[in-house]
Amino acid sequence: MDFNDILELLQQRANRPLSLKELQEMLDLNAGERKMLGKTLKDMVRDGSLVQLKGGRFALPHKVNLVVGTISVHRDGYGFVSPADEKAQDVFIPARHVRPAMHGDMVVVRLERSARTGKPEGRVIRVEKRAHRTLVGRYQLEHGVGYVAPVDSRLQDDILIPPGASGSARQGQMVLVDIENYPGRSRGAVGRITEVIGDATDPEVEIKIAAIQFSLPYEFSAEALSAAGRVPLEVSNEDLSAREDLRHVNFVTIDGETAKDFDDAVAIALSADGYRLWVAIADVAHYVAVGSAIDKEALERGTSVYFPGACLPMLPEALSNGICSLNPQVDRLVMVAELDFDASGKRVGMRFCQAVMHSRARLTYTTVAAILVEEDPVARIQHEALVADLELMHELAELRIACRHQRGSLDFDLPEAQIVLDLQGRPENIIRTERNLAHRLIEEFMLAANEAVALWLVQQREPMIFRVHESPSEGKMAAFQEFIAYFNQGISLPVEGVKPKLLQEFLERVAGQPEEQVINHVLLRSLPQAYYSVNNLGHFGLAADNYCHFTSPIRRYPDLMVHRVLKKKLEKATSAGQLSELPLAEIAQIASVAERRAMEAERDIVKLKKCQFVTDKVGEKFSGMVTSVHAFGFFVELYEIYVEGLVHVSSLEDDFYQYEEDRHRLIGMNRRREFSIGSTVEVSVHKVDLDRREIDFRLVEEKHLVRGTRREGRRKSKRQ
């Protein structure tokens, strides 16, 4: 007896909800199976496969006009429920029918029809599982009544704090609150403050708030710190047994100016057929034993999280910035990919080993670009012993770029925001950063190493964690095809599915045109997100059949797992012990969730810093480009400073505007004035909401546009 037996019975043979006893009889179970059925039914109710009705009867949700799923609440109060059945459509929940649910809860929804519009909608009738036990928010005290306003704008209701439950919290402080009573249909939630986090304007408090809000572990356990304290500070002679000695090879690290954890080092030499490249990666697996306190913490974190001016590392600092970091002028243990390329840049050989290395220098992207691109004489003299190697690396990187290009690899070279902080951690400037030659050089070598390791382990038939990127759906590509048609651009979608080469050729066709950046953004949004999997589904964006993450074990747990698999194979150990305490598939899932969680937290802090930066610029005017359009307005990215804000449709007073979703535009119903992606507009900063991470712009109107269009203005002049 399993889930499928129960589902089949309720779908095919039951014409009404059934009790536990009726299910036991109809399934013809033995005594042991009868006892297990109750637990199985509870599990099925918990995951949304079944609903339990009054009287203890069970049914399939759709048979009783119910939907079970997770509710997402919009900041304006309404919500959508994503059904547990992935084939079913989301259900709209009007604001008046959301309670007693909170954002993220698993709920049971009754399907109804709106009395006003006749359209289908839902009403929350029960909460099956609460998403939040604790919340972070701002403590407020008004007229003697205390409450906490949650930081997450999707959590609509304030949490009432009864007298005596506020602890030492003061007005305006950020606090952690335990929910003691959840909201009902006509009453709000009640809680107790358990921790005062601090002043909302303190940069350290901002990081802690983000960690709590996005469930990021931000403090290492005493056990993990104790274990990290016992890690040696230097490589010992005992560590060198059975390792290749590569200390004579001219390895260097190339990273950003602020980097402290150096995962990778590279070296190069000419070979008889072309080039030999060494990619050395910190041997974290040597210091982090399977199932140890450090290993468990690393898996829970999944990845390091990088904020402007701060980091929540995956490993304790003694490892991440110490013995595992490939610091200059010290011996370090590494896993090495030795890759041979012919004169055209094609890989012709690969070998892997455990080794010891000695980095010659810690270089930055800026320094390498100064040497290779700007040919700065001071930089070239300062690093004279490395210039010849860097020029060889440049040659090989260009060849590798050409090879990837030939097979159809996509390259979205989009700018990112770099937030410059002052000594107090406040944003001083926000600038656009773009990859220079040094970034691309290191990126190419890391891609080459990741591909080579994945291919070799596949050839060895070793189970492992892949980095996969699936091809875009037919629907997404059809929508993209429709979008680019409005720029007089087009692609022909093959029946068998789109290939990366087709998209690459299209991106080259629009390169340099006014709509290039807009099309790049929309295409990127049309592609699925990459994730970790034990199934080798290939990497669409890189046009690679085999790909994994191998090059950053200090900051990504899947890389550490790949190292363990590689070590096992290199040591030719048939029973080298467990690679992990959990199945690889479960680790891949945990890592994928942790990555998305970290990305959301990083974006949240970047948004906060951007809001802080423009707080004193209210009323100032800027030029910008429309980056996305919605029914409620359009977002504008400023040219001068790299921030984005919303022009709400309600602020457009010259006309009534209609949203055309298929054309990504708002268009005036009378004057036909249009706002679409890529349009240049003049705006002023109207309002900044730090708690919601929102910037509101207002359009700077020319007088003739407020009264009418240019054409109408000219007609009036002629009549006059």
pLDDT at 2: 66
pLDDT, tens digit, for every residue of 355-366? 999 999 999 999
Say if residues 220 and 316 touch (Cβ distance below 8 Å): yes
Residue 152's pLDDT is 86
Residue keyed to tokens 């950003």: 256
Residue 695: name the closest of 637, 625, 623 by CA. 637
Decide: 444 and 277 in contact? Cβ < 8 Å: no
- Amino acid 707: pLDDT: 37
284 and 296: one domain? yes
pLDDT of residue 715 exceeding 60, the answer is no
In this predicted structure, what is the pLDDT of residue 717?
41
Do 588 and 650 belong together in one domain?
no
13 band by pLDDT with thresholds 50, 70 and 90: low
Indicate whether 215 belongs to any domain. no
If asked whether residues 679 and 700 sit together in one domain, one would say: yes
Is the same domain home to 79 and 228? Answer: no
Higher pLDDT, 537 or 417: 537
Residue 334 lies inside a defined structural domain of this protein = yes
Does residue 306 surpass a pLDDT of 80?
yes
User: Do 458 and 553 share a domain, yes or no?
Assistant: yes
Co-location of 311 and 434 in the same domain: yes
Domain-embedded: residue 212: no
Please provide the average confidence, as pLDDT, over all residues in the chain. 89
- 152, 170, 200 - which closes a domain: 200
Looking at the structure of the chain, the number of domains it has is: 6
* Confidence (pLDDT) at 3: 66
Which is more confidently placed, 89 or 95? 95
Same domain, 48 and 71: no
pLDDT at 449 > cutoff 80 = yes
- Taking CB atoms within 8 Å and a gap of at least 24, the contacts of 523-528 are 523/412, 523/480, 524/412, 524/414, 526/472, 526/476, 526/477, 526/479, 526/480, 527/469, 527/472, 527/476, 528/469, 528/470, 528/471, 528/472, 528/473
Residues 317 and 249 in one domain: yes
242 with 270, same domain?
Answer: yes
At 292 the pLDDT is 95
Q: What is the percentage of the chain residues whose pLDDT exceeds 90?
A: 65
pLDDT at 534 over 80: yes
Q: Where does the pLDDT of residue 118 fall: very low under 50, low under 70, confident under 90, or very high at 90 and above?
A: confident
- 608 occurs within a structural domain: no
Asked whether 209 and 135 are in contact (CB, 8 A), the reply is no
Q: Where are the beta strands (DSSP E) in 261-413?
A: 264-270, 274-282, 305-307, 310-312, 331-342, 347-358, 361-364
CA end-to-end distance (rounded Å), the chain: 87
Task: Tell me how crowded residue 115 is: count the other CB atoms within 10 A of its CB.
Answer: 7
271-299: per-residue pLDDT in tens? 988 999 999 999 999 999 999 999 999 99
Q: Is residue 661 part of a domain?
A: yes
Average pLDDT of the residues in 185-194: 92
DSSP code of 263? Answer: -
Which residue range is the domain that position 99 belongs to? 65-129
Least confident of 59-73, 133-147, 168-182, 557-571: 59-73
For residue 117, give the CATH number of its domain.
2.40.50.140
Residue 159: which CATH number?
A: 2.40.50.700
Residue 658 CB partners (closer than 8 Å, separation 6+): 666, 667, 668, 669
In a domain, 532, yes or no: no
Of the candidates 548, 532, 379, the residue with the CA atom closest to the CA atom of residue 451: 548
Place 713 in a pLDDT band, splitting at 50, 70 and 90. Answer: very low
What pLDDT was estimated at residue 415? 75
* 609 is a domain residue: no
Asked whether the predicted pLDDT for residue 91 surpasses 80, the reply is yes
Domain boundary among 111, 129, 147: 129
Alpha carbon of residue 694 to chain centroid? 20
Q: Please give the share of the chain, as a percent, with pLDDT higher than 70.
A: 95
Check whether 161 has a pLDDT greater than 90.
yes
Whether residues 426 and 563 share a domain: the answer is yes
Question: Does the residue 213 lie in any domain?
Answer: no
User: Of the ranges 33-42, 304-313, 549-558, 611-620, which one carries the lowest mean pLDDT score?
Assistant: 33-42
Residues 340 and 455 both lie in one domain: yes
Q: Check whether residue 291 and residue 357 sit in a common domain.
A: yes
Instruction: Pick the more confident residue, 401 or 1.
Output: 401
pLDDT value at residue 577: 55
Mean pLDDT of 95-115: 88
